[in-house]
Amino acid sequence: MDAALEPVLEEPDVPRGSVSAGLKAPRRSRAQALFEGAGWSYLRFGTDALMLALAVGAARLGAPDFALREAPGLVWTFPVLVLALLAARGMYARRLEVRLLDKTVHVVGATSLAGILIIAVAAFVEPDARPGPLVAREWLFATAYVTAARLVLAVNQRRARVTRSVGKPTLIVGAGQVGAQVERRLNEQPELGLRPVGYVDANPAPVELVPDRGSPVLGPPSELGAIVQRTGAQHVVLAFLSGPDTQLLPIVRECEARGLEVSLVPRLFDSINVRVGLEHIGGLPLFGLRSIDPQGWQFAIKHGFDRVIAALALVLLSPLLLAVALAVRLSSPGPVLFRQRRIGRDGRAFDMLKFRSMRVVDPEEVRRTAVLVQPDTAPGGVEGVDRRTPIGTFLRRSSIDELPQLFNVLKGEMSIVGPRPERPEFVELFGPQIRRYEDRHRVKSGITGWAQVNGFRGKTSLSDRIEWDNYYIANWSLPLDLKILAMTVITVLKSAE
């Protein structure tokens, strides 16, 4: 962490998670002017404007002479329209996380709509004009330039946040289990740019009841002003207090008066998804909780597409599958395919297929060398003695060993995208221990999933994996599946390097 930004404890012997009396306010980094707050919005807007101007210039350089003579005023309207549409889509708003795959869709939509509007207006203003060829070139260059520039900006902002050269000191109101979970998530994802510096709570739970709480409790909500001055906090996350919710209103008012950004963890956060709707009855806000039925028609269509895609993939990949099967057969004695019992949708068991990556041994030897599963740790990876063959090591690293699961998809036992299936013995073990573990069996298991592409593969936190799996189910959509597939390709390419 940058020493200029790191809060310094005046009492170095303050125990972890205890009440602290004094934090010195951190000095703000110069990079904050570019990568945080209003400066970040201005930087993106200015970069987009520059890229769009370059796109217009590049489109005109090689355009046919007749295209350059057609409605020149409308052609230069293109970058203005794109900027207006990007602003209308909230592309310059302050957000915690910048996901390029999400924003690329908005860039393509804005440039496409701007091009369509220009051609439509030209048809009314100058019926004989043909701006189509030049507008098409503008659309192509603008989409490429703006997307590339935003990628560069996002990568640099992410790097600055991860290295802690920029970031907003953040207070968490509520030092209980939910507050500790917020702190852990923020520490695990420094790219969000929020650095927990402490808790605000009048009656914090004892440290032994909240072992994940790492930052100190700085004082009660009544001392929020003084705490903000000491820590230089710029963001406040409202988690759960032990008292009534009415205690939060004065905190929100004071944060607004001090110009602090405020985030809120809603009470029914397990039931909140991207489809939640906000309505008002007079001055009373109502959130409409809208969910997709995993047994409904949307998932039926998804599973239909799964089988079509699996069939096409098996045909296209058949040369690779045959080559791998031959390599496995020649690498060591034993079957080409490895079958393992797994639990899928509605708790139904099935045999999941993989290319065999290990040498075959006596089952008794497997039982003797089996290792115990650690608390809150998912099984996976190399368990016990490493029995991988040379070809098996490559297959696992490249994830090619998973390709036979396309047959499971074709049979209707699995989906292309979904939570990874687990072995029956672990389902029985984890079900009573892990909160909402059984909820993941509402849908078919997948070859890849939201948890996997976010780093929860092998021996990782099981509770975190379940959280991400249930997020996927609650927020499922076709664009989310496509996003996961794109992230899967990127993840596989990185792991194969």
**Range name among 134-148, 259-273, 379-393 with the lowest pLDDT average:** 379-393
User: In the prediction, which pLDDT does 407 show?
Assistant: 96
Which residue ranges form the domains of the chain, and what is each CATH number? 33-162 (no CATH), 167-265 (3.40.50.1980), 297-496 (no CATH)
- In the predicted model, is pLDDT for residue 329 greater than 70? yes
Name the pLDDT band for 8 (thresholds 50, 70, 90).
Answer: very low
Percent of the chain with pLDDT over 90: 37
Select the more confidently predicted residue: 292 or 443: 443
Of 10-14, 122-126, 316-320, 473-477, the range with the lowest mean pLDDT is: 10-14
Q: Categorize the per-residue pLDDT at 268 as very low, low, confident or very high, splitting at 50, 70 and 90.
A: confident
Indicate the pLDDT class of residue 308, thresholds 50, 70 and 90.
very high
Render pLDDT for 275-287 as a digit per residue (tens, 0 to 9). 888 888 888 888 8
Tell me the pLDDT band of 16, cut-offs 50, 70 and 90: very low
Q: What predicted TM-score, i.e. pTM, was given to this entire model?
A: 0.73
Give 415-428 pLDDT, tens digit per residue: 999 999 998 988 88
Range with the largest mean pLDDT of 273-282, 313-322, 354-363: 313-322
Q: How confident is the model at residue 92 (pLDDT cuts 50, 70, 90)?
A: confident
More confident residue, 70 or 90: 90
Query: What proportion of the chain, given as a percentage, has pLDDT over 70?
Result: 84
SS3 letters across the chain: CCCCCCCCECCCCCCCCCECCCECCCCCCCCHHHHCHHHHHHHHHHHHHHHHHHHHHHHHHCCCHHHHCCCHHHHHHHHHHHHHHHHHCCCCCCCCCCCHHHHHHHHHHHHHHHHHHHHHHHHHHCCCCCCHHHHHHHHHHHHHHHHHHHHHHHHHHHHHHHCCCCCEEEEEECCCHHHHHHHHHHHHCHHHCEEEEEEECCCCCCHHHCCCCCCCEEECHHHHHHHHHHHCCCEEEECCCCCCHHHHHHHHHHHHHCCCEEEECCCCHHHCCCCCEEEEECCEEEEECCCCCCCCHHHHHHHHHHHHHHHHHHHHCHHHHHHHHHHHHHHCCCCCEEEEEEECHHHCEEEEEEECCECCCCHHHHHHHCCCCCCCECCCCCCCCCCECHHHHHHHHHCHHHCCHHHHHHCCCEEEECCCCECHHHHHHHCCCCCCCHHHHHCCEEEECHHHHCCCCCCCEHHHHHHHHHHHHHCCCHHHHHHHHHHHHHHHHHHHC
